[in-house]
Amino acid sequence: MSIEIKVPPLPESVSDAMLVAWHKNVGESVSRDENLVDLETDKVVLEVPAPASGTIAKIVVENGATVEAGDVLAILEEGEVSAEPPVAASVAPAEKAAVTVAKKSSGPIKTSPAVRRLLDEHDLDATMVIGTGKDGRITKSDVMSFLKSDDSANVAPGDQQPAVTESVEVGLERTEQRMPMTRLRARIAERLVDAQQTAAMLTTFNEVDLTKVMALRKKYRESFEKKHDVRLGFMSFFAKAAVEALKLYPVVNASVEGTDIIYHNYFDIGIAVSSERGLMVPVIRDVDQMSFAGFESALNDVAARAQAGTIGMEDLTGGTFTITNGGTFGSMMSTPILNQPQSAILGMHSIQQRPMVVDGDIVARPMMYLALTYDHRIIDGKDAVQFLVSIKDQLEDPARLLLQV
């Protein structure tokens, strides 16, 4: 029986998607629930699984095409799955895609959408690359290491050229490549420009002495991890301090809708996460009701799914306030851009030992610059400055977080 493989319903506010990569070719056998193709929206990558076991009879939409919900992608002939691997020579060069190849003894090789695209760009077989990730998973760095190794010399030179829209040769060794933005990158660009053109953004700065936070974390880190099976990071301290400050200054937790100010009596905190596809801001709900361990577990979960490309649309919408940590990349100071329609965003930065005057003496202290970018249309400078001072006070005296004072 022939089955149409269709684009599934797309997330709310998403009208279309781009077909990123087929993982099966015409004539190949597939198993029920096996991922057939990746669709990229401006937020997430959607995987389309096989509704039944069978053989790919026809591919209707090729890589790079734009599709809408309900569009037919391929035709599947339902039936028994052949144990024999498909013959590679039967696939026309133009039909090659990144295929999940089965190992002889351990089943399919698991790769993220970003890794599959990289394999596809260089026309590489997943079995050529040794995975160093968890359970032998192939990472992006594994592919890049392979391309730089002697093993890659066995691949035909023409097979290693990346798939680009246009390549202009300037000189003997000087080349240029023109590549289209991914849908996510284009959407990020659009939102950043919209934020700058819409909001009256202003940034205020302060610095925080993290001596006591670091001492507290060092003292209880081992027992915390042993009891809760999760690492005690710095982000939970900042998130909890931000929530207490938001309670004192609710306009910072508000959003703008037309000429209205929407005050939120809940605290859904977005945490900026860097992934192979670009910057994402997964939202952790009701942070005010979470313990430190609960927050760290939730953060680890959404961050892992964002980096793996499996995060859902519902995890990326509805935040009331955002925290971004440029310090993980070495940033000393920055002016973060609002994540609209939110009215403020907190920027964390690198922790640096700096000379500070404490009780008349010059001592070295672990200091961090904090930045709060806010929408001056609804937040006055006084509230913004005092909000940031509140966070500083709580972090310099962590007992405040426990007593909520």
Phi, psi dihedral angles at 173 (to 5 degrees): -125, 5
CATH at 88: 2.40.50.100
d(CA 344, CA 391): 14
The edge-to-edge listing of strands for the beta sheet with 45-49 is 45-49, 35-40, 17-22, 66-67
Could you tell me the two tokens for 242?
Answer: 């931000």
Q: Which domain holds residue 167?
A: 102-180
Could you tell me the two tokens for 62?
Answer: 């090729």
Buried b or exposed e, range 167-188, using 16+ CB within 10 angstroms: eeeeeeeeeeeeeeebbbeebb
What is the reported pLDDT for 172? 62
Average pLDDT over residues 92-99: 40
**Which residue among 180, 209, 242 closes a domain?**
180
Residue 42 falls in the annotated catalytic set: no
pTM above 0.85, yes or no: no
Q: Are residues 254 and 382 in the same domain?
A: yes
Least confident among 97-101, 204-208, 263-267: 97-101
**Which residue among 97, 124, 156 closes a domain?**
97
Between 20 and 157, residue with greater pLDDT: 20
Q: Are residues 163 and 191 in the same domain?
A: no
Could you tell me the two tokens for 246?
Answer: 């938001």
Residue 376 falls in the annotated catalytic set: yes
Average pLDDT over residues 387-397: 96
Q: Are residues 292 and 191 in the same domain?
A: yes
Q: Are residues 119 and 81 in the same domain?
A: no
d(CA 365, CA 353): 5
Least confident among 28-32, 109-113, 258-262, 383-387: 109-113
Number of folded domains that form the chain: 3
Least confident among 129-133, 225-229, 342-346: 129-133
Between 317 and 14, residue with greater pLDDT: 317
- Among candidate residues 33, 151, 194, 380, the one labeled active-site is 380
- Among candidate residues 288, 301, 376, 393, the one labeled active-site is 376
d(CA 80, CA 98): 23
Nearest to 98 by CA among 156, 53, 143, 66: 143
Q: Are residues 8 and 59 in the same domain?
A: yes
Q: Are residues 55 and 133 in the same domain?
A: no
User: Has residue 310 got a pLDDT over 60?
Assistant: yes
State the chain's mean pLDDT as an integer: 82
**Which residue among 97, 118, 151 closes a domain?**
97
DSSP tag of 91: S
Could you tell me the two tokens for 290?
Answer: 């979470």
CATH at 150: 4.10.320.10
